[in-house]
A and B are shown apart, each in its own frame.
Chain A
Amino acid sequence: MTSLATVAAQGADLVAPAAPDGVFSLVWLLIALPLAGAAILLVVGRRADRWGHLLGTLMPVASFIIALVMFAQLLGRPDEQRSVVQHLYDWMVVGTFRIPIAFQLDQLSMTFVLLITGVGSLIHIYSIGYMRGDPGRVRFFGELNLFVAAMLLLVLADNYLLLYFGWEGVGLASYLLIGFWFAKPVAAVAGNKAFVMNRVGDMGMSIAVMLLFVTFGAVGFGDVFAAVPQADETTLTWIGLALLFGACAKSAQFPLQAWLLDAMEGPTPVSALIHAATMVTAGVYLVARSNPIFDAAPAAATAVVVVGAITLLMGAIIGCAKDDIKKSLAGSTMSQIGYMVLAAGLGPVGYAFALFHLLTHGFFKATLFLGAGSVMHGMRDEVDMRRYGALRTVMMLTFVGFGAAYLAILGIPPFSGFFSKDKIIEAAFSQGIVIGLVTLVGAGITAFYMTRMIIMTFFGKARWDDDQHPHESPPVMTVPILVLALASTVGGIALAWNSSIESWLAPVVGFSEPHLAIPNWGLSLITLVVVLVGAFLGWAQYGRAPVPVTAPRGAWPTRAARADLYGDALNESLFMRPGQWLTRVLVFVENRLVDGLVNGTAATIGGISGRTRRWQTGFVRSYALSMLGGVVLVGATFLLVRL
C-alpha cells in the first residue's frame, strides 16, 4: 500500500523508460512471431493443411511464454524501472519531428500483452477443434495470427502513429475474419459494415494524431504527456473527443456500436477473440493510455463517461431480447465494455478498475463465447436459444465452464466479476449518484439476461428437433473452456488480493481511492441484492413456465431491443440516406444538369433540338461550360476574399 499512497490522488508520474536489456531486447519478437505466422500461412495457403493450424497455434503460445518471462522480470524490478522502450529505427525524420518504430513495454502494455497472448493462445487451441474440416482452416489461422499481431502492435506502440497502424491492422483483420465465410452474403455484409464503421472511427483517430502533431510537434507518448500541462484546455478537449470517437468505433460504443451485433457472422472463436481479448478492448486501452490528456480535459472525460453509461444500458437491454445466443452475448459485451469506458472516464479513481474489469471480462467472456461455440458445435450450428434446453446433462463440461462464467459476470462472490464490477460501481458512486445508479441498474439487467440465457440453454425441457444429436465437444475444445473458467473463478480474487492490480498499474495510469458516504461493504451488499433480484426475475420469466419455440411478439420495448434499439435505422437516416442523396445529386450534376443547361440555351438560340448520339456521358461544350463556371467560381472567391 505504500506505493499506492505515494501516487494517491494524482496522475501518473512520468519516468524515463529503461533500456531494453536481457529478455526485453525481444519485445519486437512478441509481434514478429504471430506476424510471421500470418505471412507464412497466408502465402502457403492450402498446401499447409496438414500443419498450418499447429504453426498458427504455436506462434501466439510462443509470444505468451516470452511475455510471461518478461512479466516475471518486471515484477522483480522497482516501479520506476518497469517501463522499457525498444527503439528499432527511425521511420520518419522531418526537421525536429521524429517518428520512430519503437515499442514500449510498461505495466499497462504488459497487462494487455498477457491477456492478448494468453487468451488468444487458448482460442487458437480451441479453434483447432472448432474449425476441423473447414476447407479454409489454414487461412483462418493465418488471419487469427494477423489479428493478434496487429493488436500487439497497437498496445506495444510507443507513439500514437504506430498505435494507429495497429489500429488499422486490427480493423483489417477483423474485417477478414468477420467475413471469413464470405460465400454467405450476410457474413460479407457484416464484414463490410464492421469495416465501414471502423473507418468512420479511424477518421477520429487520424484527426487526433494530426492535432497532437500540430499541438505538441510530436506523437510519442512520452513527449506528448510531458507537454500536456502546457497545452491549452480547449485543444486538449478536441483531441480527447477525437480519440473518444476512434475508441467508440473499435469498442462498439454508442453511437458507433451497430457493427458488433452483426459481427457475430464470423466463426465463433473470432467472436471470442474480438470480444474478450482484442479489438473491443482497444478503445479502453486508448483512453487509459491517454490518461494525461483526459485528466487535463474534464469535458472530454465527461463525454467518455456519458458514452460509457449510454452503451452500458443499451447493450444490456439488447442482450435481454435476443434469441440468438451469440447476439445476446454481443449485447452483453457492449454493456460490459460500457462499464470499462465509463470507469476510464472517471479518471484516476477508475482507470485501474476499468483495466481490472477488462481482464476479468476477458476471462469470463471468452469462456462464455467458447461455451456458446461448443453448444453450437454439438447442435449443428443452431444459434436460436429457443431451440436449445436441457443441455446441461449432455454437455456437462461445457455447462460447468459456462456456469462459472455466468456467476463471474453476475458478480457473485468469490467469482472474478464480483471484484472488478463492484469496484467500478464504487468508483461511479464516489463521483456522482446518477452514474452510480446507472452502473447498479446495469448490474441488475445483466443478471436478468444472463439468467435467461443459461436457463434457455441448459435447463428446462429439450426443445431441439428429433434429428439433433447434441454431444459434448472434443477435449481440444473443452480444455480451453475449463482453463478460462478457472481463470474466471479465481482471477478476480488473485488480482484484487492486497490491491495488487491497483499498485501494479498506478505508476502508469495513476490511482486514487474512491470515497463513499456509506461503507464499501454496504454498497457491495446492495449490489448483490440488485443482482439477485435481476436473476430472480429472469428465473421467474423463463424458468417457471416452458419457453415457447417461436418467439412471442412481445411489447414494444422487446421489439425495440430486438431491432438493436434502432441503431441501424439511426445510422441509415443519419449517414446512409444523406450520403446516397449527395451521391445522386453529384452524379446528376456531372452527367445531366450541365448538359441540360447547354441544351436549353442551345434550343432557344439556334433551335437545335435533336440530341445527337452520345458516345459517352457528355459533350465538349458542356464541359467547357463547366470550366467557364469554374472561372466564375474562382473569380468569385477572389472577390469575396478582397471584400
Chain B
Amino acid sequence: MSALLAADLAPFPVPSIEYSAISPLIAIFGAAVLGVLVEALLPRTARRPVQLVLTFGALAVAFGLVIWQRDTRATVLEGAVTIDGPTLFLQGTIIALAFVAALVMAERRVDVAGDDFAPRASALPGSDYERDLTRLGWLQTEVWPLLLFSIGGMVLFPASGDLLTMFIALEVLSLPLYLLTGMARRRRLLSQEASLKYFVLGAFSSALFLYGVALLYGFAGTVSLSGIAEALTDDAQQYGLVLGGTALVAIGLLFKIGASPFHQWTPDVYQGAPTSVTGFMAACTKVAAFGALLKVLFVALGGVRWDWAPMLWVIAVLTMVVGSIVAITQTDMKRMLAYSAVAQAGFVLVGVVAASPDGMAGTLVYLVAYGFASVGAFAVVTLVRDATGEATHLSQWAGLGKRSPLVAGVFALFLLAFAGIPLTSGFIGKFAVFTAGVASGAVALVVIAVVASAIAAFFYIRVILLMFFHDPAPDGPAVVVPSSMTTIAIAVTVAVTIVVGVIPQPLLALISDAGVFVR
C-alpha cells in the first residue's frame, strides 16, 4: 500500500529558498509581524518607542541589506522573485523614501493634540469618546506595522518574478494604505470618505489586474514573466488574449501610478489622508508601481511593445494635459499637489514610452528626483497650521515668505524642482526622460510634454509668487517649529534635490551600473 502511494506520487520538490537575496524583504516583513505582537503584548505607553525603533531599525537594516546584495542577479523562490540591478535600485529608493516619509509620520510636535493620526480609528468622529482619548493623549500605534507591511509590499512589487506574486504584492501594499488613509486626526470624515473611495476603486483596479493576469495565463499557460516572454517569441496565435491581458494588467498598474483617466482618486485621497501618509504614498507607491510597470512591460511583454507603446503614448498625453491644466484651478494645496503628481506621472510615462534602456534609466532618475521632492513638499505642508489643523487653502499661504522665509524658500525649491528648473533634481529627471523620448522617435510626445511642463511651471511659480509677493493675511496660519524628526526629513529631501541637480553624475552612474532587468 505504501509502496503504491510512493509510486503514484511524484517526489515533492523542496523549494529552495535563497535567504540572502530576499533578506531585505524578510527584514521588513519580520519587523511588521513583530510590530503586531508589540501591539498585543506591550503596555500602551511602551508601544510607540518600541514601534519606532522597530520601524526605523528594519528600514535601515533593509537598506543595508539591499546595498549588500547590490551585485545579486538571480531568480529565486522558484521564479517567484527576481533580483537584478534595476530591482535593487528601485528597492533601495523605496526604502530610502519610506525612511524619510516615516520620519514625518513620527512627528509629534506640530499638532498640539499628538501625531497625524486619530487617537483611535474605531472612535466615532466627533464623539465624546474620541475627545476623551485625545485629552488622554492616546496614539494609534498600529500605524507602524501597517506602514511596514505596505513598504514590504512595495519592495516586493518590482521584484516579482510572476504575475501572481505581483498581485499579492499589490494587495499587500494597498490594503494598509487604504487603512492609513482613513486615520487622519483632523477632518476625519473627509479622511474616511477618501479611504472608502480609495478602497472601492482600488478593488476595481485590482479586479481588472487579476483579469488581465488570467488572460495572459490563458495565452502562455504560465504566470511567470519570463514564461510569457518566451511564449510571445514562438507563438503568433491568440494575440487577442495577449492584448487584452496586457491592457488590463497595465490599467491595474496605471491606477496605482495615478495616470489619467485612472487618476480621479488621487486628489480626494491625497487631500483626505493624513498629510504624512500622503507624502509616503505620493513618493513610494509611485516608485513601486512604476517599477512593476517597467518590469511587466520590459520583461514579459517586450515582444508586443509596438502594441503597448501607442497606448501608453495616449495615456501619457492625457495624464500630462489633465494634470497640469486642472492643477491650475485648484485652491487647496494638497489637491494642487495631487494634480501635480498626476502631471508628473505623465512625464515619467514619457520615459516608459521610449521603451529603451535610456528610457528606463531616465524613468529611474525621474522617480528619485520626484520622490524626494514630493516627500519634502508634503512635509512642509504639515508645518503650516492654524487653530483647526493644517492650513491647506492656497489663500492661507499668501505672504508665507515674509513670515517664514526659510520654510517658504524650501517649499519654493521643491516647486522649482517639480517645474524642472535647471540645477534642481527635477531638471535632470525631465532632461533624462525627454531626451530618451526624442531618441526613440517620440518627438511629438516630447513636444507635448515640454508644453505641458511649461503650463505646469505656471502654477508652481504662481504659488511661489503667492508666498513671496503677497501680503500675509492678518489672521493667517503660522509655521510650527517641528521636532528634529521632520527637520531631518526636510533637510534630507532638500539636500537630495540640490545635490542631484548640481552633481547628478553619481546617481546616473549608479543607474547605468544597474543595467537592465534579467529574465
Question: Which residues of A does B touch, CB under 8 Å?
Answer: 90-95, 161, 164-165, 168, 172, 179, 182, 188, 192, 195-196, 199-200, 202-203, 206-207, 210-211, 213-214, 582-583, 586-587, 590, 615-618, 620, 622-624, 626-627, 629-631, 633-635, 637-638, 640-642
Q: Are the C-beta atoms of A627 and B508 separated by less than 8 Å?
A: no
Assess whether B247 is interfacial by the CB under 8 Å rule: yes
**Known A582-B325, A618-B264; contact A623-B250, beta-carbon cutoff 8 A:** no
Q: Are the C-beta atoms of A615 and B189 separated by less than 8 Å?
A: yes
Q: Which of B243, B361, B447 contacts A638 (CB 8 A)?
A: B243
Q: Which of A210, A627, A642 contacts B446 (CB 8 A)?
A: A210
- Residue count of chain B within 8 Å CB distance of chain A: 68
**Known A164-B422, A631-B208, A633-B261; contact A620-B310, beta-carbon cutoff 8 A:** no
Q: Are the C-beta atoms of B307 and A638 separated by less than 8 Å?
A: yes
A263→B250 CA distance, assembly (Å): 49
Assess whether B505 is interfacial by the CB under 8 Å rule: yes
Give the 9 A-B residue pairs with the shortest CB-CB distance, closest first: A630-B261, A623-B264, A637-B311, A182-B469, A165-B422, A214-B438, A210-B438, A634-B247, A641-B310
Selecting from B293-301, B451-459, B482-490, the interface stretch reads B451-459
Q: Are the C-beta atoms of A583 and B325 separated by less than 8 Å?
A: yes
**Known A196-B458, A199-B457; contact A616-B268, beta-carbon cutoff 8 A:** yes
A452 to chain B, nearest CB (A): 36
Q: Are the C-beta atoms of B322 and A590 separated by less than 8 Å?
A: yes
* Chain B positions within 8 Å of A168 at CB level: 421-422
- In chain B, positions 310-327 with a C-beta closer than 8 Å to chain A are 310-311, 314-315, 321-322, 325-326
Q: Which of A179, A586, A626, A635 contacts B325 (CB 8 A)?
A: A586
Q: Are the C-beta atoms of B435 and A214 separated by less than 8 Å?
A: yes
Q: Chain B binding site: helix, strand, loop or mixed by DSSP?
A: helix
* Residue among A200, A624, A633, A638 with the highest chain B CB neighbour number at 10 A: A638
A196→B262 CA distance, assembly (Å): 31
Q: Are the C-beta atoms of B329 and A583 separated by less than 8 Å?
A: yes
- In chain B, positions 449-486 with a C-beta closer than 8 Å to chain A are 450-451, 454, 457-458, 461, 465, 469
* Chain B positions within 8 Å of A172 at CB level: 421
Closest to B308 in A: A638
A626→B196 CA distance, assembly (Å): 17
**Known A586-B322, A623-B197, A627-B261; contact A203-B251, beta-carbon cutoff 8 A:** no
Task: Provide a sorted-by-A list of 26 A–B residue pairs whose CB atoms are within 8 angstroms.
Answer: A92-B508, A93-B505, A93-B508, A93-B509, A95-B512, A196-B458, A199-B454, A210-B435, A213-B438, A587-B325, A615-B193, A617-B268, A618-B264, A620-B197, A624-B204, A626-B262, A627-B201, A627-B205, A630-B251, A631-B247, A634-B247, A637-B310, A637-B311, A638-B243, A642-B239, A642-B307
Assess whether B12 is interfacial by the CB under 8 Å rule: no
Q: Are the C-beta atoms of B508 and A94 separated by less than 8 Å?
A: yes
A93→B461 CA distance, assembly (Å): 30
Known contacts A214-B435, A618-B264, A627-B201; can you find 6 more A-B pairs with CB under 8 A? A210-B446, A213-B435, A629-B261, A631-B247, A634-B251, A638-B308
B177 to chain A, nearest CB (A): 17
Q: Are the C-beta atoms of B243 and A618 separated by less than 8 Å?
A: no
Q: Are the C-beta atoms of A641 and B261 separated by less than 8 Å?
A: no
Q: Are the C-beta atoms of B450 and A626 separated by less than 8 Å?
A: no
Q: Chain A binding site: helix, strand, loop or mixed by DSSP?
A: helix
A-B contact count (CB 8 A): 140
A248 to chain B, nearest CB (A): 15
* Chain A positions within 8 Å of B322 at CB level: 586, 590
Q: Are the C-beta atoms of A199 and B307 separated by less than 8 Å?
A: no
Closest to A199 in B: B454
Q: Are the C-beta atoms of A207 and B450 separated by less than 8 Å?
A: yes
* Chain B positions within 8 Å of A90 at CB level: 505
* Chain A positions within 8 Å of B439 at CB level: 213-214
* Chain A positions within 8 Å of B321 at CB level: 586
Assess whether B423 is interfacial by the CB under 8 Å rule: yes
* Residue among B239, B306, B315, B465 with the highest chain A CB neighbour number at 10 A: B465
* Chain A positions within 8 Å of B512 at CB level: 94-95
B429 to chain A, nearest CB (A): 12
* Chain B positions within 8 Å of A214 at CB level: 435, 438-439
B398 to chain A, nearest CB (A): 13
* Chain A positions within 8 Å of B361 at CB level: 94
A161→B268 CA distance, assembly (Å): 39
* Chain B positions within 8 Å of A617 at CB level: 267-268
A586→B255 CA distance, assembly (Å): 20
- In chain B, positions 372-425 with a C-beta closer than 8 Å to chain A are 421-423
Q: Are the C-beta atoms of B422 and A92 separated by less than 8 Å?
A: no
Assess whether B74 is interfacial by the CB under 8 Å rule: no
- In chain B, positions 201-251 with a C-beta closer than 8 Å to chain A are 201, 204-205, 208, 239, 243-244, 246-248, 250-251
**Known A641-B310, A642-B243; contact A590-B326, beta-carbon cutoff 8 A:** yes
Assess whether B164 is interfacial by the CB under 8 Å rule: no
* Chain A positions within 8 Å of B208 at CB level: 631
Assess whether B125 is interfacial by the CB under 8 Å rule: no
A618→B247 CA distance, assembly (Å): 26
A70→B73 CA distance, assembly (Å): 55
* Chain A positions within 8 Å of B358 at CB level: 94
* Chain B positions within 8 Å of A622 at CB level: 264
Assess whether B50 is interfacial by the CB under 8 Å rule: no
A480 to chain B, nearest CB (A): 30
* Chain A positions within 8 Å of B308 at CB level: 638
Closest to A585 in B: B325
